[in-house]
Amino acid sequence: MSNMGPYSDLVMDHFMNPRNMGEIENASGVAEVGNPSCGDVMKLYLLINNDGIIEDAKFKTFGCGAAIASSSMATELLKGARVEDALKLTNQAIVDALGGLPPAKIHCSVMAEEAVEEALKDYFVKAGKDASVVDEMKAQIKKDH
Ligand code: FES
């Protein structure tokens, strides 16, 4: 595919052929997050097994091409990851995996990072824990870096 303007081939590919679009019935964790600056919305579904491994991830994003590409890449990176490692998926990591985004579109990848955090909070709450464990894990990851 030829490169279109400021977007990498990988971004275009994930935008034109999004991976893992859809919903997961009986998901272990679900989140819906919005981007207040543009009104775009992303919904994320995670299926997590008893070993704490994300077996499946699906998304539905009502948003711009960069948001759809970020959602698609995020779900690809989440599948097979441990819950702790999923929290290391920063928006920058998603942007890097996509081969970069134009500066004005970096904010579009932030929804994906927030959606992972919120979906994992939902997962822990469903397991009878407090949502703050996610904040603590995230703080620990930031400290280690
Ligand atoms: S313009 Fe809304 S997420 Fe990209």
CATH for 124? 3.90.1010.10
Chain Cα centroid distance, residue 3? 24
Residue 1 lies in a domain: no
Task: Note the pLDDT tens digit of each residue in 6-38.
Answer: 899 999 999 999 999 999 999 999 999 999 999
Residue 87 lies in a domain: yes
Is 64 annotated as catalytic?
no
Atom 3, ligand 1: residue with shortest CA distance: 108
* Model pLDDT, residue 145: 77
The number of folded domains in the chain is: 1
- Domain span at residue 134? 9-144
Residue 68 lies in a domain: yes
Quick one: pLDDT band at residue 2, thresholds 50, 70, 90? low
Residue 56 lies in a domain: yes
Is 108 annotated as catalytic?
yes
Instruction: Return d(Cα 61, Cα 69) in angstroms, integer.
Output: 10
Q: How far is the CA of 50 from the centre of ligand 1 (A)?
A: 35
The whole-model pTM stands at 0.94
Q: What is the mean pLDDT of residues 100-125?
A: 96
Ligand 1 is surrounded, with C-beta below 6 A, by: 35, 38, 40, 63-64, 66-67, 105, 108
DSSP label at 24? Answer: -
Task: Note the pLDDT tens digit of each residue in 79-105.
Answer: 999 999 999 999 999 999 999 999 999
* Model pLDDT, residue 142: 87
Residue 133 lies in a domain: yes
